[in-house]
Amino acid sequence: MPTLEEAFRIAIDHHHAGRLAEAEAVYESILAAVPDQPEAMSNLGYAQQMQGKLAAAAATYRKVLAKWPDRPQPHARLGELMQWTGRWGAAVDYYEAAVSLAPKDEGLAAQLDHAVLLAAHHQSLRQPLRRGERLDLRDVTFMVPCRIESPDRRRNLRILVTYLRRHLDTNILICEDNPERQDVPGIMAELGLSSADYGYIHLTSNDSPYTHRGKQLNIMAAAATTPIVVGQDTDVLVEPTQYVLAQRAVHDGVALACPFNGLFFDVGPDFVPGVERTLSVNQIDLFDPRNEMLYKNSYSGSVFFGRWVFDRLGGFNEKFVSWGWEDFELYRRLELLGERVERTLGPLLHLSHARSTNSVTENPWYAHNTAEYERVVSMTPDQIRAEIAAGSFRRPLVSASAVPGWVGTPTS
């Protein structure tokens, strides 16, 4: 049985090594034995935070403050959580509290200054929206690959298009991959939109239930006429000013810019109707456990590109089919080629939906996709350029006959 000091050292070692779940467990065992350990409780909150357990982390930090109200660090950690989730004003409040408790701490003062700057910048970007105007993204085309295989997907496409049109002056191009029917024109008509309000491409030769997203995106990029294009999933939103930050990053020479900070939240079914009613995401409580953080390091869902990524750098790798790896492969490929890749501020919000064959790792393409990802990221820049020049990242639109292990008649 380790002593308290030994247990704390074990927890710290786990923490520094990135074994956060193990560190969390040891901190909890310490606190079960000796509840009044402020360092262990603070470290427990940070281990939870870095695992993406934001609700648990916030609760732990508040528990620290309830017992030890003069400690500045929990306030600063709560300020950091507010920044992660796009709550800029609340972040300032927490950092101000931290600085008031440690006025000579230069690090905390710098964090407060940064929080104030971010909050002011966010308010400045929102000014057009407050005047009833839209944010100017006329040089951007949102490319939306889709197949409407459920009522949830239909609803989410409707929300996405309405949300973008409410907040942005921009272009929307939708590619529907479904040989059996055309759902998108009807959905757009329900929204009161005509063919002049959006672009539409219909692919008819994929008779498998598996979407070919990379192919769809490359086809749309070839059709788009704007200097910036966005790979935009049907189910994903960010706070409107985050789109502007990504647009500006591409203007500044960034090849790939995510309009979010890498945090990918799944907005629970209880919250989606509120988004549809208000066309706002600011009211979503990301500390509610019903809104689970799925990923901490995402590069997918909504990604801005300079169109040179498609003209010169290979675009999306069409060897990826269905769900798995294509966004992360393109990010890694651009990084290997020396291109600038960036993420901006605020979280990404994924509207929950029923899981189809394309949304799970059990789909028959997942092993193939994983092998292709590992192959590309192990290449040298010259090898990647040679494959781009040879067109090796291209393939025909997938069909049932190409599905690994396919037996029988395809069904959706």
- DSSP class of 358: G
Question: For domain 135-400, which architecture applies?
Answer: Alpha-Beta Complex (3.90)
Which two structure tokens, joined as six digits, stand for 397?
A: 């639109």
Q: Which amino acid is at 107?
A: G
Identify the pLDDT of residue 405. 61
Q: What percent of the chain has pLDDT over 70?
A: 96
Identify the pLDDT of residue 320. 93
Bridge pairing between strands 168-177 and 199-203: parallel
For residue 357, is pLDDT > 70? no
For residue 43, is pLDDT > 70? yes
Identify the pLDDT of residue 2. 76
pLDDT digits over 373-409, tens only? 999 999 999 999 999 999 999 999 998 887 776 544 4
Structural contact between residues 259 and 302, judged by C-beta atoms closer than 8 angstroms: yes
Identify the pLDDT of residue 408. 46
Identify the pLDDT of residue 363. 73
User: What angle is formed at CA 302 by the lines to CA 250 and CA 306, rounded to 5 degrees?
Assistant: 25
Identify the pLDDT of residue 260. 98
For residue 361, is pLDDT > 70? no
All structural domains of the chain with their residue ranges? 4-104, 135-400
Worst-scoring range by mean pLDDT, 74-78, 146-150, 159-163? 146-150
Task: In whole angstroms, give the CA distance from residue 301 to residue 234.
Answer: 8
Identify the pLDDT of residue 409. 45
CATH ID of 4-104, from 1.25.40.10, 3.40.50.720, 1.10.260.40, 1.10.3720.10: 1.25.40.10
Identify the pLDDT of residue 294. 92
pLDDT digits over 119-128, tens only? 999 999 999 9
Q: Report the DSSP beta bridge partners of residue 303.
A: 231
Which residue reads 């090796």 in tokens? Answer: 392
**What's the CA dihedral at 285, 291, 297, 302 to 10 degrees?**
-80
Identify the pLDDT of residue 336. 97
